[in-house]
Amino acid sequence: MFVHLHNHSEYSFLDGVSRIDILVDTACKLQFDALALTDHGNLCGAFEFYQTCKKNGLKPILGCEVYVEGEKGDNFHLTILAKNKEGWRNLCILSSRSWKDNFYYKPRVKKEWLKNYSEGLIVLSGCLASELAGYVLNEQFDKADLLIEFYRTTFKDDFYLELQPHKIEAQQTFNEFLKDRAKLLGIPLVLTNDSHYPDKHYQLAQEVLMCISTRKTLDDPTRLRHENLELHLKSAEEMMATCQTDEELEAFKNTSLISSKVSLNFQQMNPIMPKFSTEKSSEDILKELSEQGFRKKILEKVSTEDISKYRKRLEFELQQITKLGFRDYFLVVADFINWAKANGIPVGPGRGSVAGSLVAYLLGITELDPLKYNLFFERFLNPDRVSLPDIDVDFCQEKRDLVIDYVKSKYGEDKVAGIATFGTLKARAAIKDVGRVLGYSFAELERIAQLIPAPRQGFDYSLRESMELEPKLKQAQEKHQQLFDVALKLEGLVRHSSKHAAGVVICGEPIEEIVPVMVDKDGQVITQFSMYHLEFFGVIKFDFLGLETLTFLEAVKNLIKARRGLSLELEKIKLDDPATYSLLASGDTLGVFQLESSGIRDMLKRLKPSCFEDLIALLALYRPGPLESKMAERYILRKNKKEDVVYLHEEMKEILESTYGIII
């Protein structure tokens, strides 16, 4: 059995050509039993790699090639693998703290941290960029021996001296030293290979990629080169062929030994909710606050005969929220919304499926009575389709960060973080970047890139799809084969990381002990995983949206107060003003939230809304499905009495009468 123990994948941010899916597919074709991922300085790709390996019957080994801080403040490479869940936890902490507490050009791990978080970790001595190699190549053998002793003492039987088969003089010198010390000290050797791309056919793409990263061209004599190194995913036969001695053969076999030590299996975790209060139970607090809201918003405003309907709905919702374990979630959201309101920070009235929750209305999360508009709680939380709540909360764009700061102060800095997003190399960018490296003119690249179809409904066409749709692009490929061949290999690689515009995680435990975090360009702590993977680990996302409209409305209120002496309360504005609907029907709605695009303004003119329910229908209809199926058009015709109202079945009339028989 052979296990490939060293690879750099797409999450190295343009360090290696391997996309995770292509990497795993190649490993399967080579009949590997297991594969390790050790990106430089981050764990961003770890869980996607884990899932992809599992799906393809390959054992995933999660690791990181960390940057260890040297004695002069510089940094060196060190390969760390997680054996088990304790090792994964410690690896997350090491990676997180290297970003948060010791970043200097690179996220650096301190040696004392390695001692404190050594449990469950396997350490390989590293490549030519390691501290050990630096000492050996500079003939500082006393320091090299002290360093080996530090790692052997810290990691015991889980420390390996790492041989690599690269045919360069420095590597051969380093290898001989390692073999000598392995024999002298009884430390096991392991044979690895730096892998930056799946197979030999990707070598040119790797060279081009490094030029993109360093803003060089392929014919630049000063560019970084890997041309004489075999950095592809080598097969067992290729690796065995490099073994010239019994020691090297034993090092080759030790890859399987390391794999046998690894037993890391993730299970879907229950939500790790932030604890709203330690003094009273969340059940008591939720009931108490709901009752306060009920007295204020229902008993004082709803007719006596309808009270029982509201009471029944409240009891049902509280029962479901308790059953699903989301009491603290509601309390946390209500708390930061009401804190914002109390501190003069404009908050939206609520949108999305949460508008169907009476509890949300009573707690002040939303400002819309769901029973008045026949909205269903099950659309928000459904006991038959259990998923985490998703409440989009709009805040004034200028003061949104104040609310996040409040949340950090309440629950702890270590339990709150932003969420990473990852930008990939799209088709047009791939053509332009590769073409620049290959020496194409700007005009020629622009001409080719313009042949790629524009995104449709937010969907970007891949280069291969674009060639099928546009014959001229196919002709360009035949003329510029090298350009397209390299661009196709690089397309889809992660190009950069950034912070999700609205998502914030609030956790009941320190986040870095569950998933790794890093620091963005603004110094903000964000998760190394995207939002698509956080839920698996029980880390809850909350949406804090910064809305310019709310900032604008607040400015208008202040102007009215200053110039006319009127204190305007937006939530008390009546929804049946004829002049407002006349304005909306004119399509003059630039600056009106969600009614600004040319398409929806044209629809307003044709629909001619006359009541709030028409606006509800309009926003539901102005979506790709209803527009393409002509449902929106039929609604407009029926609303304006230009088409008869027809029901699919007479029993549907009661439900569909307000929408003219159209199922919205």
Distance, CA of 162 to CA of 248 (rounded, Å): 10
pLDDT score of 14: 47
pLDDT digits (tens, 9 = 90+) for 206-236: 999 989 988 999 999 999 887 778 889 999 9
pLDDT digits (tens, 9 = 90+) for 51-92: 999 999 999 999 999 999 998 889 999 999 999 999 999 999
| DSSP-assigned letters across all residues of 488-513 | HHHTT-EEEEEEEEEEEEE-SS-GGG
Say if pTM beats, i.e. exceeds, 0.95: no
CB 400 within 8 A of CB 348: no
pLDDT score of 571: 82
Q: How many CB atoms within 10 Å of residue 334? A: 23
Tokens linked to 308? 């029982």
Q: What is the enclosing helix (H) or strand (E) of 122?
A: strand 121-124
pLDDT score of 383: 78
pLDDT digits (tens, 9 = 90+) for 243-297: 999 999 999 999 999 999 999 999 999 889 998 887 889 999 999 999 999 999 9
Distance, CA of 496 to CA of 327 (rounded, Å): 37
Tokens linked to 403? 């609310």
Q: What are phi and psi of 7, to 5 degrees?
A: -155, 145
Query: In the predicted model, what is the mean pLDDT of residues 531-550?
Result: 93
Q: Domain residue spans in the chain? A: 3-198+233-261, 282-421+498-549, 426-491, 574-659
The DSSP letter of residue 574 is -
- Least Cα distance to 403 among 454, 335, 449 occurs for 335
Residue with the two structure tokens 């390989």: 124
Distance, CA of 283 to CA of 273 (rounded, Å): 14
pLDDT digits (tens, 9 = 90+) for 141-171: 999 999 999 999 999 999 999 999 988 999 9
Question: What are the residues whose beta carbons fall under 8 Å from the beta carbon of 495, sequence distance 6 or more?
Answer: 13, 14, 422, 423, 424, 425, 429
pLDDT digits (tens, 9 = 90+) for 365-381: 999 999 998 899 998 99
- Least Cα distance to 103 among 140, 66, 133, 138 occurs for 66
pLDDT score of 601: 94
Q: Which CATH number fits domain 3-198+233-261: 3.10.20.30, 3.40.50.720, 3.20.20.140, 3.40.50.1370?
A: 3.20.20.140
**Do the first three CATH levels of 3-198+233-261 and 426-491 match, i.e. the same topology?**
no
Query: In the predicted model, what is the mean pLDDT of residues 419-434?
Result: 94
| DSSP-assigned letters across all residues of 393-440 | EEEETTTHHHHHHHHHHHH-GGGEEEEEEEEE--HHHHHHHHHHHHT-
CATH 1.10.10.1600 fits 426-491, yes or no: yes
pLDDT digits (tens, 9 = 90+) for 442-470: 999 999 999 999 887 678 899 999 999 99
